[in-house]
Amino acid sequence: MVSDASRKGRATVARYEALIQVSEALRAYHDRDELVRSLARELRPVIHFDFLGLALYDESSGRIIPFVLEATGEAGETPVLTSDDQLTDWVIRTQQPLVVASIAEELRFIEEMEYLRRQNTQSICCLPLETPQRRVGMLLAASRQPHTYDPQDVAFLTLVANQVALAIDDTYNYGALQAALQREQERIHSLEASDELLRTLSTVLDIRAVFGKISKVAATVLPHDKLTLTLHDNRNRSLLSAASDDNTVSPTFLQANDGTAQEDTAFTLPDIRTDGRLRAEPDDCLEQLQNAGYRSVIAVQIPAADGWLSLHFWSKRIGAYNQTQYPVARRIADHVALALSHQRLLEVTRRASVSRDRASVLERRVTALAAEVNALGGQRRVIGESKAWKTIIKQATQVAGTDTTVLLVGESGTGKEVVARLVHRTSLRSEGPFIALNCAALPEPLLESELFGYERGAFTGATHAKPGHLEQASGGTLFLDEVAEMSAPAQAKLLRVLQEREFQRLGGTRPMKADVRVIAATNRDLRMKIEDGTFREDLYYRLQVFEIRLPPLRERQEDILPLSQAFLEEITRNVGRPPAGIAVDAMNTLVQYDWPGNVRELRNALERAAILCEGGLITSEHLVLAPHPTIAISPGGTDVSTAFAPTTTVHLRSIEKAAIERALQDARFNKSLAAKNLGLSRKQLYVRLKHHGLF
């Protein structure tokens, strides 16, 4: 005899087997409406109900859509609920099942309970429909008998609800997938149809002649009323422009203010009449397009061989374009770029032949110039036998093999740029450029633009972008002479270059990498500049990683005569009657002088003497120098004694101060005129006024 437990076990197994069959049946539906219509029939084998309801939840709008799947009468009307106290809302919000054993005794959810009583039902079981991705809604089963649904029924019905939720979610996903596939198939079909024609068009040698045809082909995949094209080089100069019609002018430059034209980018503007982000050239271009009825635009910009190419699709409808159309616009732009490459192929081939011939001529010229530079002693300017100079050369060669920042400190004319070039020539960057910038020779705004470069439109007159010295020195060395004269903003930007190895052009938004080795030089006491607040302390420590101090020429007396001989060899090539040499008395005079202008002054004095001697020996009479302590030189050689004779020394500082005072008086204290008469910039004059206390 079969026990009750055995019968219950077999019933439970049969129930779960039926659930598996129902699950498979539900998964076969791909249309939501068809699934809803068939749900009552499919669930009948596993759920006991006299009334079956369904509520679907729309997450985007927050709306709940009720369905009556099976009613107790002929046809169940859909309930209209107005109360805030709703059973459906409670179940969807809490995601908890709800069992009402007796509808007559339930005091909550008044509208739903009244509706269910009219359906002659007495108990209900409400189950949330949920998937891992979202809340789907609620399933409600009702019975004409009270206390129909016990905890075991709820546990089983929860499994049923899970299968229903998955089936409904599958219909959503399937529908979305089918729609996406349909759109993709249509797009691919259109692109494939246009590709063949665009490939044919790409063989032409003048794209402007067939640009109208390109517009018609492109309109099949990206509808528009007008198509315009611009091609720019890397300096934003317009190389070519074309339009599908001649009714209005075409922009030679078009950019959204929040984008960068040179980058591979795209943007849309829903209404060019009200959107202020667009700027174009010529200035009246936008006005003419607006007057012609054009309202929206999609623009795509891609790199091209000569710079960058921009296509603009114009529509007379507001909001005609959106971001989903960017790939299609880029695909068309790619084909146009291919057509342009064919157009320029013949021109490039012709230019290549001319360039090869010109390169051969230039190569021969460069070889000749290099030989001439070497003959002029350019490589032999690193001259000196003194211990101090040999120490400098040793330090320079030690630091050359690294990328360490170098600070050269010394009086004006001591050869700081010569040492900087030596470091560069013996470094791993020797094949790269050596770019020198005198920070005191430029006014503050011009210094920043020359050092960091600027973008088009960064300031009045900036008609095109220009790379700065930092970019020009990429892969090589940047030499900043008189770095103490830098303005505070420029110091802050230079500090970022040294710390982060990046910078921005003036008016730019993109950080750029600085692949340079920085060598700075100054003839000022930077610690005093820090104390008076005109130089940043943090920048000083960044520059002073490896400091080389260059002694003045008066402390390198052993080097005066070797330098004089080397300079004289250079000078003789540029004068009509070269001097025969340097007399002994002139050698004494050269060694006696303390050279406030250092090596630079020495060369200038010798050049002047070479002209005055008219082919004879340079004597002391030809050296226009103030008297200084004497050092005897033996007639038979260049041995230098240590005996000094006291004389009056005229200090260069006092001479400079007197000259500035006289220039100010002559100019009636007009500083601009005084600076011009002195051959100085206004900034340089102010520096010297402060230096001599003449403010």
The pLDDT confidence band at residue 636, using thresholds 50, 70 and 90, is very low
**Whole-Å CA distances, 294 to 274, 290, 312, 420:** 12, 5, 12, 59
CATH architecture of 18-175: 2-Layer Sandwich (3.30)
46 phi/psi in degrees, rounded to 5: -120, -10
Q: Do domains 18-175 and 207-346 have the same CATH topology?
A: yes
Determine the CATH number of domain 554-650: 1.10.8.60
| pLDDT tens sequence across 399-422 | 988 899 999 999 988 889 999 999
The pLDDT confidence band at residue 540, using thresholds 50, 70 and 90, is very high
438 sits in the region (left: phi over 0; alpha: psi -120 to 50; else beta) called: beta
Question: For the residues 188-197, what does the mean pLDDT come to?
Answer: 60
β-pair partners for 64: 57
Q: Where are the domains of the chain?
A: 18-175, 207-346, 378-551, 554-650, 653-691
**DSSP character for 640?**
B
Question: Hey, what CATH topology would domain 653-691 get?
Answer: Arc Repressor Mutant, subunit A (1.10.10)
β-pair partners for 52: 70, 141
Q: How, if at all, do strands 512-513 and 502-503 pair? A: antiparallel
Question: Percentage of the chain with pLDDT > 90?
Answer: 11
Tokens of 182: 């349909």
Superfamily of domain 378-551: P-loop containing nucleotide triphosphate hydrolases (3.40.50.300)
Single-letter amino acid, residue 498? L
Superfamily of domain 207-346: GAF domain (3.30.450.40)
| pLDDT tens sequence across 446-505 | 888 888 888 877 777 777 778 888 888 888 999 999 999 888 888 888 888 888 888 888
Taking a C-beta distance cutoff of 8 angstroms, is the pair 164, 129 a contact? yes
| pLDDT tens sequence across 287-325 | 888 888 888 889 888 887 667 888 889 899 998 898 888
